[in-house]
Structure formats: structure tokens, C-alpha cells
Amino acid sequence: MDLDPTINENDDGNIVVAWRSRRNGRYEIFSKVFDGSSWSAQANLTNSKAEDLYPYLGRRAGGRMMLAWSSSRAGGGYEVFVSIHHDTGWTAPARMTRHYLNDNYPALIALPGGRIMLVWHREYPDKSTTMWYRLYDGNAWTMEEPLIDSIPTRRLNYVAGLSAEDGELWLTYTEFDRNVLLRQRDKGTWLQEIPLPPTGGVNQYSRITKTSDGWIWIAYHSTRNGNTDIYAQRSRYPVLMGVSSPFDRAPNGVRLDASYPNPACPVTRIGFHLPRSGNVRLEVFDLLGRTVRVLADVIMDQDSHVVTWDGRDDNGVSVKPGVYFYRLTMGRQARVRKMVVTSR
């Protein structure tokens, strides 16, 4: 039985696929390499007498490929191990956790500055769970730290990641009820969890990527009506499209400025700059991604513009105090910022 494939590009530009395979009564990690013309023979990457599960291939920007997985080789539970690929092959497995608990579902996330983050799911004897992480700068690993605090009433599973951008970190995981979720960190603060639209199935093993136009795509396998298939969907939530400052301020890029005043009480002005003439759409969303107000959907000239929002929705009703997002879209470019609305 072959499960849990993971794929990445190695140091030579070749494609590497790894997976866990049950052979000789236990799971081990195997891989194959595609050099552009043919696939190599299978290679056993772990070759242990223990259970090796949940492989994840990652790579630092400009750095070596790394493999993370969960293994029972240390005894007393599952621990996370990492191996780094060099010219002579893979290094000996390095044990990353030492708590004799159940540390599973590791993920390797590339960060700015050539660093890489190792994230994993930890389950305690009382079934409460946390997410933990360690950072690698090319020379050494930091000590482990909690990424998401313990939540005893539910179980977080199947960690996956996306490279950080502009100080943000994106993660997707599933809860005990198996709904795929996303979470975002903006300047060190975790924002609220955003559940994806319900699919009517049992969703697992999600992976995500962010496209050049700012949308988040999620792929996962889902069991519906007794059948398990692969699904993909695009997130419609603006909160998942990036909230950072500054945005792209290149001469050929769309710029979206911070609203003023912020907090709005409740009127605020939103400024932006267009590098060329074209159709522009400016919208306000609530935390659940629902459109509150379309402020503009017209053709505008190349220039700086300011649009005023009076704190009302499209029906003319004053919105409730809270956090809102506004998104500027022009062609394939999209910019999003956050603002707070207070009571009148």
C-alpha cells in the first residue's frame, strides 16, 4: 500500500517524489527522481525497522532539499525526523523532537532569508493537541516553540504550509470534524480561523499554494458517498489573500494605501494608485468573506484616487463595529488591507 505522496525539486533541478509504502509488515519512506527524461528506480530513504510515516519534502530558497517524517524508531511514541540531501546522498536522520509523545504530520515551509520552518502536530495523552515549530537558518535549528496553543476540545491534523510573504505565514489543517481550515499570521499575530465552504465530505491531507493574482488554491482528498477523490478549490475569502504593508509599490504595480482614519468612525477614505487605465473594482468584506459594499466597479484613469466609505452596506444599512477588509482588483492584480469600524 502506497500513501501520502510529496513532491519537490531537488538541488539539480530534478523532480523528486516521496511516499510511504507498507512492506515487510511496516511503513517505510521511498522515493523516485525524474531527471527530465526518465524516472529512477525506487530508493528506500529511511530503511529502518520502525514505522516511518507522513513524508514531506521541502527546500530552502537556494538551499538543499530536506525530508521530514514521523517515525517510531525512538520508541515510546512517534517523533519527527529530518534528513538533508547533499551531493553524496541523504544525511543520517536527525531527531527533531524528544518528548515520547505522538509528533506527526510534519511540514517544511520556506521562509524569507533562506530559512526553513519545520511544523508538526503533537498529540498528548489526554488527546489535546498543539502545533509546534523549529527554524533552520542553514547552520543550526532553533529550539522548538508552540505555533498554536493546546486546544483540548478538538484535534488539529494534517499540517501543511505555504511560504511566508511580507511577514505572513499561511497554514492549512483539518479539525476533528475534518473540515479544511486556513489560518494567517499578520506581523506575529494569529488571526481567526477561517473555515472553508462545506463540501459534504470528509476532507484530509490538504495542500495549498498562492497564485500571482493573490488567490489561495487548496487541494485535498475528500470522501463522499463512499468514494475518495482529489478535489481543488479556490478560496473566496479576502482575509486569505494577504494583509501586509507595504504592498507592491513598483512603478508597474497597483498600490493600495491604508484607509484613513482607521479605526473608521464610521466614515473612512481609501486611497490607491493605478499604474495604467483600466477597470477597477474596490470592495469591502467582513471576516467571513461576504461582500459588504462594492465601492467602485468602473474604468479609471492612470493616477492616484480616493474613495470614501460611509460605513454602510450595499443596502444602505450601517455595518456592525468590527474588523473588515477592503480589496482592490485590477486585472490579475489584487491588493487587500484591513480596517476597523467603530460605533457612530
Q: What pLDDT band is residue 149 in, cutting at 50, 70 and 90?
A: low
Domain assignment present for 52: yes
Rounded CA separation 328/321 (Å): 22
Same domain, 133 and 75: yes
Domain extent at residue 190 = 2-240
Q: Name residues whose C-beta falls within 8 Å of residue 315's C-beta, 6 or more positions apart in sequence.
A: none
pLDDT reported for residue 240: 42
Q: How far apart are CA 97 and CA 101, in angstroms?
A: 9
Classify the phi-psi angles of 331: left when phi > 0, otherwise alpha if psi is within -120 to 50, otherwise beta: left
The answer to whether residues 270 and 155 belong to one domain is: no
- Name residue 77's beta-bridge partners: none
The pLDDT of residue 289 is above 80: no
Kindly report the pTM of this predicted structure.
0.61
Percent of the chain with pLDDT over 70: 72
Q: Which of 240, 264, 286 is the last residue of a domain?
A: 240
User: Same domain for 51 and 138?
Assistant: yes
Give the cell for residue 182: 486556513
How much is the average pLDDT of 242-260?
56
| Residue 246 counted as domain residue | no
Same domain, 148 and 271: no
Q: Residue 263, preceding bond cis, omega within 30 degrees?
A: yes
Q: Write down the pLDDT at residue 169.
A: 65
Which one of 181, 215, 240 terminates a domain?
Answer: 240
User: In angstroms, rounded to a whole number, what is the distance separating the alpha carbons of residues 199 and 195?
Assistant: 11
Question: CATH number for the domain including 262?
Answer: 2.60.40.4070
Domain end, chosen from 240, 264, 291, is at 240
Residues 6+ away with beta carbon under 8 Å from 121: 103, 104, 105, 129, 130, 131, 156, 157, 158, 159, 173
Whether residues 199 and 324 fall in one domain: no
- Integer Cα distance of 186 and 238 in angstroms: 14
Q: Are residues 236 and 263 in the same domain?
A: no
Task: Please name which of 326, 332, 238, 325 lies closest in space to residue 278, comparing C-alpha atoms.
Answer: 332
Q: What is the pLDDT of residues 199-212, one digit of tens each?
A: 666 766 666 766 65
Position 73 in a domain: yes
Q: With pLDDT > 90 as the criterion, what percentage of the chain qualifies?
A: 19
Q: Are residues 199 and 297 in the same domain?
A: no
Instruction: Specify if 173 maps to a domain.
Output: yes
Q: How many distinct structural domains can be found in the chain? A: 2
Q: Note whether 226 and 308 are same-domain residues.
A: no
Q: Answer yes or no: do 222 and 320 share one domain.
A: no
Q: Are residues 166 and 309 in the same domain?
A: no
Between CA 123 and CA 100 the distance in angstroms is 10
Provide the 10 A C-beta neighbour count for residue 146: 11
What's 191's domain CATH number?
2.120.10.10
